[in-house]
């Protein structure tokens, strides 16, 4: 069986890694890896391959950045001839990035079976590019693998046939559990302590990259106002996405950030270092999807800087609060979390490190 696996952006690498390991146990599977090149900076791409032990991609389509239409079209143009010549029995896409829908569309139109991992998640916010990618990818997939029960419910409500849907758990958590011990050996906290002459007890971690947060000066400013309160209590470490770094100067926010003396902007950090930072943080503030899930497993309070989440299980049984981007609401959520006024999170069903095994067993 020939399986063609697609990665493009940083979170994809984390989701594909356990599959590549699992395939090796199946002699009848010939799996290859295509990198679209959506993310191309060493720190957004190569470092992850190294940290996660993913084999080098068999091909890199090197599409790079562009508008949504340009990026999606370019991936499709470059992927199609490769898919035609390789003739896979199955194309596997993960998550909700432009590479996911672009390669999914190519596969479907070539009449190649398509599997989508992390299917059914819905924020019900169509202004989010990822929501469009999710809905479209799910509507053309033959095998849909869900991480949480809301995903199954959403797909059924959209009319997806029951027999196409598989509740398999969370593949990103497979990666987390298999790398946690190694991550605990990371020296990132000592390094930061030394670099900034800090005596760190509690600290917060911040990530921001959604266009709705970092392309709008007013929204970005409101988040920074909340951080002013938080950094007065503890250092805030902010590994910064290239898009966010660029926008800070474009939107004229550098001075405001410089005034936050206990906020430390870092280059994007490796997967293992970031896992260590999350695991030891007093609190994590983020607009990422995956981090809401990782903090749930690590039992670290998470504040989601968005108005909604497509991962509701992280709120209902996890440690996540969806605070939006209003300064007062973020500060209130922060106080609730650090004052211990939140439930000990539970582990969602099947987030047990065996999702890849369950997924590959359905391929045979």
Q: Give the C-alpha separation, 115 to 164, whole Å.
A: 10
Q: Which is nearer to ligand UD1, 74 or 280 (CB)?
A: 74
Q: Does the footprint of ligand UD1 cover residue 121 (CB under 6 A)?
A: no
Nearer to ligand UD1, 39 or 358 (CB): 39
DSSP annotation string for 60-101 = E-------HHHHHHHHHHHHHHHHHHH--SEEEEETTSHHHH
* Shortest Cβ 117–ligand UD1 spacing (Å): 15
Sole binder of ligand UD1 in the list 3, 7, 11, 208 (CB under 6 A)? 11
Pairing assessment for the beta strands 59-60 and 30-35 based on DSSP bridges: parallel
Each residue 51-80 as x (binds ligand UD1 by CB under 6 A) or -, in order, gives: --------------x---------------
Sequence-ordered list of residues with C-beta below 8 angstroms from that of 45, at least 6 positions apart, any chain: 10, 13, 35, 39
* Among positions 5, 21, 98, 304, the unique one binding ligand UD1 when judged by CB under 6 A: 98
Q: Specify the residue for token string 């039992």.
A: 299
- All residues at 6 or more sequence positions from 118 whose CB lies less than 8 Å from its CB, including other chains: 15, 94, 95, 96, 145, 146, 147, 151, 171, 172
If one asks whether residue 127 binds ligand UD1 (CB under 6 A), the answer comes out as no
* Residue 160 engages ligand UD1 in binding (rule: CB under 6 A): no
Nearest-approach distance from CB 170 to ligand UD1, in angstroms: 16
With residue 116 as reference, give the H or E element that holds it.
Answer: strand 113-117
Catalytic: 39? no
Using the rule CB under 6 A, which residue among 4, 10, 15, 207 binds ligand UD1? 10
Residue placing its CB nearer to ligand UD1 in the complex, 139 or 332: 139
Of the candidates 249, 279, 276, the residue with the CA atom closest to the CA atom of residue 265: 249
Interacting residue with ligand UD1 among 1, 24, 41, 55 (CB under 6 A): 41
Shortest distance, position 38 Cβ to ligand UD1, whole Å:
5
Nearer to ligand UD1, 89 or 267 (CB): 267
Applying CB under 6 A, the span of 25-33, 94-102, 298-306, 307-315 interacting with ligand UD1 comes to 94-102
Closest to ligand UD1 by CB, 44 vs 135, is 44
Binding to ligand UD1 by CB under 6 A, coded x per residue (else -) over 208-247, reads -x-------------------------------xxx--x-
Which candidate in 39, 116, 209, 241 is catalytic? 209
Strands, E, within 181-280: which ranges? Answer: 204-207, 236-239, 263-266
Q: How far is the CA of 112 from the CAs of 31, 32, 284, 308, in angstroms?
A: 15, 15, 40, 34
> What is the rounded CA–CA span in Å between residue 155 and residue 144?
9
| The token pair that represents 134 in the structure block | 């999710």
Q: Is 288 exposed, middle or buried (0-12, 13-18, 19+ CB in 10 A)?
A: buried
Tokens of 126: 């169509």
38 binds ligand UD1 (CB under 6 A): yes
Nearer to ligand UD1, 123 or 150 (CB): 123
Tokens linked to 275:
């896992």
Give dist(CA 168, CA 186) in Å, integer: 30
- Catalytic residues, which ones? 209
- What is the binding site for ligand UD1 (CB under 6 A)? 9-11, 38-41, 44, 65, 96-98, 129-130, 209, 241-243, 246
């Amino acid at each position: 069986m020939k399986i063609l696996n697609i990665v493009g952006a940083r979170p994809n690498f984390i989701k594909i890694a356990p599959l590549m390991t699992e395939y090796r146990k199946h002699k009848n599977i010939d799996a290859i890896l295509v990198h679209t090149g959506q993310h191309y900076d060493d720190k957004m791409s190569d470092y992850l391959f190294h940290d996660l032990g993913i084999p080098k991609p068999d091909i890199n389509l090197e599409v790079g950045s562009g508008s949504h239409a340009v990026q999606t079209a370019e991936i499709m143009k470059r992927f199609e001839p490769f898919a035609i010549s390789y003739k896979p029995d199955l194309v596997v896409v993960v998550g909700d990035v432009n590479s996911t829908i672009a390669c999914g569309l190519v596969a479907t139109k070539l009449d190649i079976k398509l599997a989508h991992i992390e299917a059914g998640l819905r924020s019900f916010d169509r202004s989010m590019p990822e929501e469009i990618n999710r809905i479209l990818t799910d509507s053309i997939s033959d095998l849909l693998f869900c991480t949480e029960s809301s995903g199954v419910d959403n797909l059924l409500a959209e009319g997806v046939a029951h027999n196409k849907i598989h509740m398999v758990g969370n593949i990103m958590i497979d990666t987390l559990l298999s790398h946690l011990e190694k991550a605990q050996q990371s020296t990132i906290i000592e390094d930061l302590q030394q670099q900034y002459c800090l005596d760190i007890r509690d600290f917060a971690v911040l990530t921001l990259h959604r266009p709705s947060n970092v392309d709008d000066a007013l929204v970005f400013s409101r988040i920074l106002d909340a951080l002013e309160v938080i950094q007065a209590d503890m250092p805030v470490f902010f590994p910064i996405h290239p898009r966010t770094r660029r926008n800070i100067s474009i939107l004229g926010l550098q001075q405001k950030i410089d005034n936050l003396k206990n906020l430390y902007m870092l280059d994007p950090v490796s997967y293992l270092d970031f896992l260590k930072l999350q695991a030891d943080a007093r609190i994590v503030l983020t607009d990422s999807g995956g981090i809401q899930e990782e903090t749930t497993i690590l039992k670290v309070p998470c504040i989601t800087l968005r108005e909604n989440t497509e991962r509701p299980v992280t709120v209902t049984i996890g440690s996540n609060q969806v605070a939006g981007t209003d300064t007062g609401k973020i500060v209130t959520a922060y106080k609730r979390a650090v004052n211990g006024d939140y439930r000990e999170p539970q582990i969602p069903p099947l987030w047990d490190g065996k999702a890849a095994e369950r997924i590959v067993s359905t391929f045979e």
